[in-house]
Amino acid sequence: MKITAVELFIIKMPLKAPFITHLGTVQDREGIIVKITDQEGMTGYGEGVAFSTPWYTEETVKTSIHMLTDVLIPVLQTHPIDHPDEAAELFKSVRRNNMAKAGLETALWDLYAKQQALSLSKILGGTRQEVASGVVVAADSLTNALKQIESYLEDGYQRIKVKISPEQDYRFLAEIRKRYPLLPILADANSAYSLDDLDRLRALDELNLLMIEQPLGHDDIIEHARLQKQIKTPICLDESIVTFDDARKAVELGSCKVINIKVGRVGGLSEAKRIHDYCVEQEIPVWCGGMIEFGISRAHNIALASLQGFSIPGDISASSRFWEEDIILPEVSVENGVIQVPNSPGIGFAINEKRLKETTIATKVFPI
Ligand SMILES: O=C(O)CCC(=O)C1=CC=C[C@@H](O)[C@@H]1C(=O)O
Ligand SMILES: [Mg+2]
């Protein structure tokens, strides 16, 4: 791929409104934009999506900067690669740190697609010209949640995801279901429950939820398998699925009926595609999860979600869901509940250089 330089831009931007879950609140989002340049001056972009604190996984922006600076980019400096799939192989010697790996690997995929003058969607084997868009309602009260739902349905989103926990579950969901009897609703628990809550979780069966996401332990597939046998609502796994093998074991055990694939959580597009291809074979529907990310990661998600098996609207919302102004041009927009998949080379979005500059708090440059 004849890479000559890697640059990191650490950026920070306030959310338009706090993103509230039982695990904590995200008000300002830091992120890492990875820019790779080749000897022709062509550039590819990736995004490290770890949060500033380790509330979702063990990674943070700081651990990602360390891994990129001291481990992953040095690997690239000593091992030239010809195809992005080789990165996943090269990074195997590094345990976990998937979001740092994905930040670099996705930049390689964008650059590679541009070098082939093909869209990233095409290069990945995507067949969809548009992807269905869902949105997350992360509110701390029923009133605020209902306000958000009404506004998002006016924007055309096809499905709503709400955050639940023992403090906010049956009554909260029943009130929403009463107002929207046919609305596709996904409830994300982010591991707020245990098997002791079986009755609480079984009570949700009557609300006709699309699925319940990650009700039990963040690294569990055994108890989820036991739970799935006891409840009708399909279980979707998110945090538990960090590798292809996690997905294979979860499917074999019956731990879930749906998988939320997040490029950052699984270490990049190569692994995300492997999980997708396996789930298609096993007839397990998948959808593309979100990470309250900026436009570069959103663009990679759109390309991934253009693969045939992404049959459920993902957490791929418009740039305006979180940001006053995104770092890409054009911004991601949702029309009639779908996002058009770009046909131009690579991720199909340009960098908004002005916005990147004004949101950058630090940069690092590495010759390759
Ligand atoms: O980015 C989006 O649109 C949704 C983000 C989102 O719902 C999540 C991001 C990270 C952790 C969780 O709070 C939640 C999830 O578990 O999917
Ligand atoms: Mg989730």
256 and 166 assigned to the same domain: yes
Take atom 16 of ligand 1 and give the residue whose Cα is closest: 190
In a domain, 347, yes or no: no
Whether 213 has a binding-site annotation, put simply, is: yes
pLDDT at 22 > cutoff 90 = no
Over residues 63-112, the pLDDT tens digits come to: 999 999 999 999 999 999 999 999 999 999 999 999 999 999 999 999 99
Q: What is the mean pLDDT of residues 144-159?
A: 95
Over residues 113-126, the pLDDT tens digits come to: 999 999 999 999 99
**Residue 239 CA, closest ligand 1 atom number:** 16
CATH code: domain of residue 268: 3.20.20.120
CATH code: domain of residue 82: 3.30.390.10
Query: Which of 56, 152, 261 most suits a substitution to test ligand 1, by most atoms within 8 Å of the C-beta?
Result: 56
143 and 49 assigned to the same domain: no
Domain count, the chain: 2
242 and 139 assigned to the same domain: yes
Three-state SS string over the chain comes to CCEEEEEEEEEEEEEEEEEEECCEEEEEEEEEEEEEEECCCCEEEEEECCCCCCCCCCCCHHHHHHHHHHHHHHHHHHCCCCCCHHHHHHHHHCCCCHHHHHHHHHHHHHHHHHHCCCEHHHHHCCCCCEEEEEEEECCCCHHHHHHHHHHHHHHCCCEEEEECECCECHHHHHHHHHHCCCCCEEEECCCCCCHHHHHHHHHHHHHCCCEEECCCCCCCCHHHHHHHCCCCCCEEECCCCCCHHHHHHHHHHCCCCEEEECHHHHCCHHHHHHHHHHHHHCCCCEEECCCCCCHHHHHHHHHHHCCCCECCCECCCCHHHCCCCCCEECCCCCECCEEECCCCCECCCEECHHHHHHHEEEEEEEEC
Give the pLDDT band of residue 139 (cuts 50, 70, 90). Answer: confident
181 and 329 assigned to the same domain: yes
In the reported structure, the alpha carbon of residue 173 is separated from the centroid of ligand 2 by a whole-number distance in angstroms of 17
Catalytic residues: 163, 262
Query: Which of 13, 21, 26 most suits a substitution to test ligand 1, by most atoms within 8 Å of the C-beta?
Result: 21
- The pLDDT value recorded for residue 332 is 98
In a domain, 264, yes or no: yes
130 and 165 assigned to the same domain: yes
In the reported structure, the alpha carbon of residue 55 is separated from the centroid of ligand 2 by a whole-number distance in angstroms of 12
**Between 303 and 139, the higher pLDDT residue:** 303
86 and 146 assigned to the same domain: no
Give the pLDDT band of residue 312 (cuts 50, 70, 90). Answer: very high
64 and 189 assigned to the same domain: no
183 and 326 assigned to the same domain: yes
Take atom 9 of ligand 1 and give the residue whose Cα is closest: 291
pLDDT at 24 > cutoff 90 = no
Over residues 31-42, the pLDDT tens digits come to: 999 999 999 999
In a domain, 346, yes or no: no
173 and 199 assigned to the same domain: yes
In the reported structure, the alpha carbon of residue 271 is separated from the centroid of ligand 2 by a whole-number distance in angstroms of 18
92 and 129 assigned to the same domain: no
| Mean of pLDDT over the chain | 97
Percent of residues, the chain, with pLDDT higher than 70: 100
User: Is 59 touching ligand 1 by the criterion CB < 6 Å?
Assistant: no
- The pLDDT value recorded for residue 233 is 98
Whether 238 has a binding-site annotation, put simply, is: yes
In the reported structure, the alpha carbon of residue 274 is separated from the centroid of ligand 2 by a whole-number distance in angstroms of 20
> Which residues form the domain of 56?
3-117+353-367
101 and 211 assigned to the same domain: no
User: Is 134 touching ligand 1 by the criterion CB < 6 Å?
Assistant: no
User: Is 292 touching ligand 1 by the criterion CB < 6 Å?
Assistant: yes
In a domain, 129, yes or no: yes
330 and 357 assigned to the same domain: no
